Amino acid sequence: MIDKLEMFIALSRIRHFGRAAEELGITQPSLSAGIKQLESQLGVQLVNRGSRFGGLTTEGERALEWALRIVGDTRTFKQEMRSSKKGLSGEIKLAVIPTALPMVADLTEKFYAKHPNVRFSILSQSSAGMQAMMDNLQIDAGITYLDHAPLGRVKTVPLFDEDYAVICHKDAPLAQNATIQWAELAQENLCLLTPNMQNRQIIDQMLIAAGVTPTPTVQSNSTVVLASHVETGRWVTVLPTHMAEFLTTGRPIVQIALKGSQTQRVGLIVPDRDPLPPLTNALLGLAHSF
């Protein structure tokens, strides 16, 4: 039944038979047959069918809660049995907010040194998207802001404090400053992350508090895109200092410290469940030692 529950979870998340089948690596008829078999076993209709996916029935919504619990517990059980015999092995799926990506290697390198049979799959993801992925068992852990937005049922471990810097071209007049005030950015042509990103929301709040209306002429969900626009000399951006250091290395762009920035805590989040899968529990333990 576990494989049928996996199919059901994927379909409920993707809400399309064809795309769900593609993600699962099976044919659409196989997915449809699997869902019908699950419905037959449970004695209820789980999915509203028509010419396309019509959502879950009331019973389907309740069944999804059980499916997530059962599949999550089964994965933990299998991982625990495997680890007791062979030690930690397998894959950790980790989602990270874009601005924290340069810091991830500090965590994964230390973990890999202790557990060389473990693989990492690291995805760039917004905080909101990360929570949804964790709820749907798509990731094992995440690295995100701990204070700026409400988190779901998760355990948290702070990893570092994020502060901010302006990035501009090395020949820009702004580059002559050792520090800059947020209010001075009112005269600059800004390129910033997209509004759905928590980092952008934090920066907007700081700009508004300084009397600056955020009106970027370029927005992107990629920090690389922002850096490439700064490199033209026509734009400046604001990013966390660790990301600024990473992006300015070897490029004709520089970072300038922003005075009056409020630091933000960034940390590891894992599902608040007991027991945790051995890999997730080991990652949580390592994070506590940072």
For the segment 63-107, what is each residue's pLDDT rounded down to a tens digit? Answer: 999 999 999 999 999 999 998 888 899 999 999 999 999 999 999
CATH architecture of 164-262: 3-Layer(aba) Sandwich (3.40)
Q: Where are the alpha helices (DSSP H) in 15-86?
A: 17-24, 28-42, 58-86
Q: In the chain, what are the domain boundaries? A: 2-79, 87-160+265-288, 164-262
pTM: 0.87
Question: How do strand 90-96 and strand 141-145 relate by DSSP bridges?
Answer: parallel
Average pLDDT, rounded, for the chain: 93
Q: What is the CATH code of the structural domain delimited by 2-79?
A: 1.10.10.10
**Order of strands across the sheet with 154-162?**
118-124, 90-96, 141-145, 264-271, 154-162
Query: What pLDDT score was predicted for residue 107?
Result: 96
Per residue in 237-280, pLDDT (tens digit) is: 999 999 999 999 899 999 999 998 889 999 999 999 989 999 99
CATH topology of domain 87-160+265-288: D-Maltodextrin-Binding Protein; domain 2 (3.40.190)
Query: What pLDDT score was predicted for residue 265?
Result: 94
Other C-beta atoms closer than 10 Å to the C-beta of 254 total 18
Q: Do domains 87-160+265-288 and 164-262 have the same CATH topology?
A: yes
